[in-house]
């Protein structure tokens, strides 16, 4: 079976950015995703289209097909007073937006009673290099298609 829309795909992967490994699947625990459901970044999903079990490929993904360009407007100054906890430079924190979604941000600087918060994704603006091996391809179940994600053997969720 070849990878196509509505297939569930298992991949082993190593993600390298600027010559450093930043993420990889664990030995014997490939990442499962539903192809065509935006479970993974578009650049990687497109490259896997049509591949089959055992295929290995190297994929270079530009920022626009990955985590987006780095946007200076996503960097904001916040008041230290708005935080209950001690804030440390270089750490990641979470803010709740007006619509209730949770937005991670990294504190890049602390200046007096202000902090500089960077809401860009960690890998924004980066070119991503993936080494990928296809470990499984199967048809998705009706329930998986309805939910838009892969179900494990004893999946418990709403
Ligand atoms: Zn589900």
Separation CA 69–CA 127 (nearest Å):
10
Fold for the domain defined by 72-118:
Thrombin, subunit H (2.40.10)
23 CA from centroid of ligand 1 (Å): 25
Residue by residue, DSSP assigns 98-150 as: TTS-EEEEEEEEEETTEEEEE-S-TTTT--EEEEEEEEEEEEPPHHHHHHTS-
CATH 3.10.50.40 domain position(s) in the chain: 7-67+125-145
64 CA from centroid of ligand 1 (Å): 28
CATH 2.40.10.330 domain position(s) in the chain: 72-118
Closest CA relative to residue 105, chosen from 93, 89, 113, 90 = 93
pLDDT for position 87: 87
First-to-final CA distance of the chain = 30
pLDDT for position 155: 66
68 CA from centroid of ligand 1 (Å): 27
Per-residue pLDDT of the chain (158 residues; tens, 9 = 90+): 999 999 999 999 999 999 999 999 999 999 999 999 999 999 999 999 999 999 999 999 999 999 999 999 999 999 988 877 788 999 999 888 888 889 899 999 999 889 999 999 999 999 999 999 999 999 999 999 999 999 987 766 75
Q: What is the pLDDT of residues 106-119, one digit of tens each?
A: 999 999 889 999 99
Q: May I ask the CATH architecture of the domain 7-67+125-145?
A: Roll (3.10)
Separation CA 73–CA 119 (nearest Å):
9
156 CA from centroid of ligand 1 (Å): 8
104 CA from centroid of ligand 1 (Å): 24
138 CA from centroid of ligand 1 (Å): 17
pLDDT for position 117: 94
Model confidence, pTM: 0.81
Please report which helix (H) or strand (E) contains residue 56, including its range: strand 56-61
């Amino acid at each position: 079976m070849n990878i196509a829309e509505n297939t569930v795909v298992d991949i082993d992967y190593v993600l390298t950015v600027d010559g450093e490994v930043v993420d990889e699947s664990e030995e014997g625990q490939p990442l499962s995703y539903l192809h065509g459901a935006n479970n993974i970044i578009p650049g990687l999903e497109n490259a896997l289209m049509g591949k089959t079990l055992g295929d290995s490929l190297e994929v270079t993904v530009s920022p626009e097909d990955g985590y987006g360009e780095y946007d200076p407007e996503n960097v904001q100054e916040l008041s230290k007073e708005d935080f209950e906890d001690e804030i440390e430079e270089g750490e990641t924190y979470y803010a709740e937006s007006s619509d209730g979604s949770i937005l991670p941000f990294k504190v890049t600087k602390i200046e007096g009673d202000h902090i500089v918060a960077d809401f860009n994704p960690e890998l924004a603006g980066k070119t991503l290099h993936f080494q990928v091996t296809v470990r499984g391809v199967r048809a998705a179940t009706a329930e998986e298609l309805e939910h838009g994600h892969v179900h494990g053997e004893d999946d418990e969720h709403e």
